[in-house]
Amino acid sequence: MIKKKLPVQLILLFAILFSFNSLVTSKVVLSSQNKTANKTSNQAAKKASAIPKLTVLLVVDQFRADYLTRLKGLFGQKGFNRLIDQGANFTNAHYAYSNTYTAVGHTTIVTGSLPSIHGIVANKWFDRKENRLVRASEDDKTTPLGGKEGASPQQLLTTTFGDQLRLSNNYQSKSIGISIKERSAVFIAGRRATGAYWFDGSQGNMSSSSYFMKELPEWVIKFNKEGFADEYFQKNWDRKLPIEAYNIADKDDASYEATWKGNTITFPHIMDGNSKEKGPSFYRQFGDTPFSNDMLTKFALAAIDNENLGKDEYPDFLAVSFSAPDLIGHMFGPYSHEAQDIMLRLDDTIGNFLDQLDKRFGLNNLLIVLTADHGVSPIPEYAQAHNLGGGRIDGLALKAEMEKLLVKEFGKVGNDKYILALINHQFYLNEELIKEKKLSLTQISEFLGQEAAKTKGISAFYTKERILTGRMPDTDISRRIMAGYSNERCGNVFLLVEPFVLIAEAEDEYMGTSHGTPYHYDTHVPILIMGNQIKPGVYKEACTPSDIAPTLANLLSVEAPSGSVGRILTEALK
């Protein structure tokens, strides 16, 4: 077969057609790529614009998770129920450690970490270097501003969500913490906070320290001059609702309840500090009452307006901790008329606060989180009266008895003592003395634990050596103890009490109730999150307040705090 050559013209035509087709194909591909790029760019811009200008954290001190269900029918529609209905409600949130105290919980919420990592293991602990009890927030290098005591988060070992937010844009964002308690305000604000403010009970002012600023802002000075607390001097705190609404509470005149000096255990309670004049005793009592919650939200709104929070391209963080429920709960217990009433009034307070936020920003433009730092046990005598077990151990007597047994077993040590302190359910041993006497710290710790565990109400003990080496029972409680333990700041022997049992480690702990155990009633807290990026609904998956900080960091596209171990709550994210 003879192959014919194609005419040159035809070859040129094919070449032109091929080149044209390639050019068209390239344009189509480029056009498609440009559309994809534009779509991606638009999505990124939409995501950036969706980042809330202001994230608001509300922490209710000593807010048991069951308050939301027990009191739901008595709450209005603008406070807790608004957050429940319009937000994500995590009903199975538990702290993952045993030392459920205020400073620990507040720190955990904003660090996404654990006490064993962030270092805040209690409200106070025994410092071996200082040879004394130290407060978690104490800092003698600071100067008080507007009050008599300085404070800072300088003992915190990790960053917080607020810190990470500010680091993300060279400190253009602001982070502010507000509370009655200084240990709550300083930790939720963060190590690099714009400001932290707390109520000074000696003068009735909102105060701060030189750690955060050189001097109080003018707007804070102006707020203090208004004398919010003074308006309540010699007024009564009475029930918000008719007495019939409190039939789900314990009797109002329960003899095991505590109260303020010179006051009654029943409603109404006069707010005078057992004094005829305004002064420290009155201001401290005011801080315990529901009306201090109103002061905090008024102060928070003043902070928003004067610090211009949420007003520019840089997102800000505002954290408010309501301390009064804890102070009331300690005295009267979680089943009291007072505990119920303060929650009903706080519901109104939060509802009004949310209304004000809505007017300023529109709630859809905000990210709002509500949680608690811990729960609380019933008053031990209440538990006993209802045949629920429980009890109260005299910690001072226990410490003295254990010291005697140690002397008998291992010999006298002159004027020194084997036991330096009993605090947070932990014995701190005099390690230097024991080493000097060439005694076995392990042997003494085991002996002390075994003898203490013979006390009615103590179910087990764990030594420092066992905890640090992981030689612990494979139980959830053991894991909680290890998660809360710090080699430097915790004791040598940890005592595990039975449920509803308290160790009265100070003279003011022989009435009322407390928290600080790995049990359900202390670890179970609410987590409510509401915002445009959140899918409303009830979420029953296991979670922890350690999950809050990494979730917020993810939503605001910033790095999670340095010690964060929590997960992102993806099930509730749009």
- Is the per-residue pLDDT at 14 higher than 80? no
Angle of helix 291-306 versus helix 218-225 axis, rounded to 10:
150
Q: What is the pLDDT of residue 272?
A: 98
Which candidate, 129, 108, 122, 101, places its Cα nearest to that of 486? Answer: 122
Cα(568)–Cα(574) distance, rounded to whole angstroms? 13
Which candidate, 375, 399, 526, 506, places its Cα nearest to that of 452? Answer: 399
CA distances from 43 to 37, 47, 210 (A): 10, 6, 43
> What is the DSSP track for 310-366?
T-SSS-EEEEEEE-HHHHHHHHH-TTSHHHHHHHHHHHHHHHHHHHHHHHHH-GGGE
- Is the per-residue pLDDT at 38 higher than 70? no
Is 102 tagged catalytic? Answer: yes
Q: For 400-419, what is each residue's pLDDT tens digit?
A: 999 999 999 999 988 899 99
Cα(254)–Cα(248) distance, rounded to whole angstroms? 14
Strand partners, 59: 321, 371
Q: Tell me the pLDDT of the chain averaged across its residues.
A: 92
Query: b/e per residue, 277-300, with b = 16+ CB within 10 A?
Result: ebbebbbbbbbbbbbbbbbbbbbb
For residue 325, how far is the Cα from the chain centroid? 14
Q: What is the pLDDT of residue 403?
A: 98
Cα(40)–Cα(119) distance, rounded to whole angstroms? 42
Cα(247)–Cα(237) distance, rounded to whole angstroms? 19
List own/partner pairs for 216-221 with CB under 8 A and 24 or more apart. 216/145, 216/146, 217/306, 217/307, 219/302, 219/303, 219/305, 219/306, 220/146, 220/302, 221/146
- Is the per-residue pLDDT at 251 higher than 70? yes
Least confident of 46-55, 111-120, 314-323: 46-55
Query: b/e per residue, 128-150, with b = 16+ CB within 10 A?
Result: beeeeeebbbbbeebebbbbebb
Q: For 284-329, what is each residue's pLDDT tens digit?
A: 999 999 999 999 999 999 999 999 999 999 999 999 999 999 999 9
Q: For 126-170, what is each residue's pLDDT tens digit?
A: 999 999 999 999 999 999 999 999 999 999 999 999 999 999 999
Q: What is the pLDDT of residue 4?
A: 38
Which position among 36, 55, 69, 102 bears the catalytic label?
Answer: 102
- The more confident residue out of 4 and 311 is 311
Least confident of 3-7, 199-203, 504-508, 523-527: 3-7
Question: What's the whole-number mean pLDDT along residues 246-254?
Answer: 97
> Of how many residues is the chain composed?
574
Cα(551)–Cα(527) distance, rounded to whole angstroms? 12
Residue 173 tokens, joined:
């964002």
- Is the per-residue pLDDT at 7 higher than 90? no
Domains, in order of start, for the chain: 58-379+518-572 (3.40.720.10), 391-509 (3.30.1360.150)
Q: For 265-282, what is each residue's pLDDT tens digit?
A: 999 999 999 999 999 999
- Is the per-residue pLDDT at 440 higher than 70? yes
Q: What percent of the chain has pLDDT over 70?
A: 91
Q: What is the pLDDT of residue 50?
A: 81
The angle formed by the CA atoms of residues 564, 567 and 570, to the nearest 5 degrees, is: 140
| Dihedral, 88, 325, 103, 431 alpha carbons, nearest 10 | -130
Helix (H, G, I), strand (E, B) or coil at 269: strand
**Which ranges constitute the DSSP H helices of 119-276?**
161-167, 182-189, 218-225
pLDDT band at 49 (very low <50, low <70, confident <90, very high): very low
The model's pTM: 0.91
Helix (H, G, I), strand (E, B) or coil at 543: strand
Strands (E), 40-143: 54-60, 88-94, 124-127, 132-135
